[in-house]
Amino acid sequence: MNVLVTGGAGYIGSVTAELLLDAGHAVTVFDNLERGHRAAVDARARLIEGDLRSPQAVRAAMEAARPDAVMHFAAYALVPESMEHPERYFRNNVAGGMNLAEAMLEAGVRRIVFSSTCATYGEPERVPITEDVAQRPTNPYGESKLMFERILHWYERLHGLQPVFLRYFNACGATRKFGEDHDPETHLIPIVLQAALGRREKVFIYGDDYDTPDGTCLRDYIHIADLARAHLLALTSAHTGAFNLGNGTGYSVREVIETARRVTGRPIPAEVAARRPGDPPRLVAGAEKAGAELGWRPAFPELETIIRSAWTWHRAHPEGYGSG
Ligand code: UFG
């Protein structure tokens, strides 16, 4: 298939583009390179530089690529930033998404695989979180993703779009080519590995007084290659609607640090600090639906394998993608 990948220069988009190309699909990346990296665009892909917030740019990319389907990753994705600048999140993630959906309708493209998030559930009413758990986001980032899910839902009913919403839990790990490089970095595993590389003095553990076995927060860490494979399955599936993507196991912040110490053989100093506002104690996926309907089975569920892949990438790219 011919696939337009928005945000294909970002972390999850770059790896999904790589797997699409490996599987013989043609890929056009649409990215403004504001937070993505030119070096993260697979050499086999075509890159169109452009901004989602410009209806003209999106329409021009759709006309140039003439895709059979769209994978939509391009978005802002920092929870703390969204609490300070909600308008950025609604403009880019919602209004930008609408530009994309409208350009798809004009071009007669129906299939869209959309990067959604467990942040749409907010503080979940039960764990493991299945797709029918109430979606009550606690920040504008999660809200913006939920709003675009709802828009796509109505465009499915009224305009015949065929959307799939993939609700990611904690994406992490790397392939040999592509890994995680955000600026600023806020995610636990890259921060821990930067400490292992000596690029940070220590890791702060945000709270150790939660109601969890060791007092630190539990997250469902999912390998980026497993996430990417779910997109390929969603692309050709007859199903529409929402799928959670996680391993169904929660690891604590302390377990992540301990595992990274084992994998890297480095001490990784850590210090307990105050809770980070808005962190739910447990986010663990019930992802049976993706197994049953998409045939998705994570190939790399072990935390150690995930951290090892990230460590290999970070050692090869100690400065990330450089200046980008
Ligand atoms: N953490 C630390 N120290 C750090 C960084 C993180 O203790 O330096 C802790 C956090 O408090 C949290 C856990 O490690 O308990 C994981 O934090 P991340 O920032 O790596 O990931 P989050 O679970 O906060 O974020 C993920 C996704 C977001 C999504 C969010 C939903 O990356 O896109 O889940 O809550 F919005």
Residue 20 resides in a domain: yes
129 and 115 belong to one structural domain: yes
Q: Which pLDDT belongs to residue 287?
A: 96
Is pTM beyond 0.85? Reply is: yes
Give pLDDT tens digits for 137-168. 999 999 999 999 999 999 999 999 999 999 99
78 and 212 belong to one structural domain: no
Distance 79 CA to ligand 1 centre (A): 9
| Helix or strand holding residue 298 (H, E) | none
11 and 155 belong to one structural domain: yes
213 and 123 belong to one structural domain: no
Give the strands of the sheet with 46-49, arranged side by side.
46-49, 26-31, 2-6, 69-72, 111-117, 162-168, 241-245
Bridge partner residues of 205 (DSSP) = 272
Distance 157 CA to ligand 1 centre (A): 34
127 and 7 belong to one structural domain: yes
Question: Could you give the CA distance from residue 267 to residue 258 in angstroms, rounded to a whole number?
Answer: 9
Task: Domain of residue 160: give its range.
Answer: 2-171+222-245
Residue 292 resides in a domain: no
Residue 46 pLDDT grade (very low, low, confident, very high; cuts 50, 70, 90): very high
Question: Could you give the CA distance from residue 322 to residue 317 in angstroms, rounded to a whole number?
Answer: 8
Ligand 1 pocket, 279 CB below 6 A? yes
Pairing of strands 170-172, 221-223: parallel
98 and 133 belong to one structural domain: yes
Residue 227 pLDDT grade (very low, low, confident, very high; cuts 50, 70, 90): very high
45 and 145 belong to one structural domain: yes
Q: Annotated active-site positions, please?
A: 141
CA triple 303-178-231, angle to 5 deg = 75
Ligand 1 pocket, 284 CB below 6 A? no
235, 113 contact by CB (below 8 A) = yes
Residue 290 resides in a domain: no
113 and 203 belong to one structural domain: no
166 and 307 belong to one structural domain: no
Distance 218 CA to ligand 1 centre (A): 10
Pairing of strands 218-219, 203-206: unpaired
241, 289 contact by CB (below 8 A) = no
SS (H, E, C) 173-219: CCCCCCCCCCCCCCCHHHHHHHHHCCCCCCEEEECCCCCCCCCCCEE
Residue type for position 177: K
Which residue, among 13, 74, 2, 19, has the nearest Cα to 229 in the 3D structure? 19
CATH code, domain with 99: 3.40.50.720
Is pLDDT above 80 for 323? no
26 and 95 belong to one structural domain: yes
Q: Which pLDDT belongs to residue 322?
A: 82
Buried b (16+ CB within 10 A) or exposed e, 40-64: bbbeebebbebbbeeeebbbebbee
Residue 278 resides in a domain: yes
Residue 272 resides in a domain: yes
Cβ neighbours for 146, distance < 8 A, ≥ 6 positions apart: 116, 120, 135, 137
Is pLDDT above 70 for 208? yes
Number of domains in the chain: 2
Ligand 1 pocket, 276 CB below 6 A? yes
Share of the chain above pLDDT 90, in %: 96
Atom of ligand 1 nearest to the CA of 77: 33
Ligand 1 pocket, 217 CB below 6 A? yes
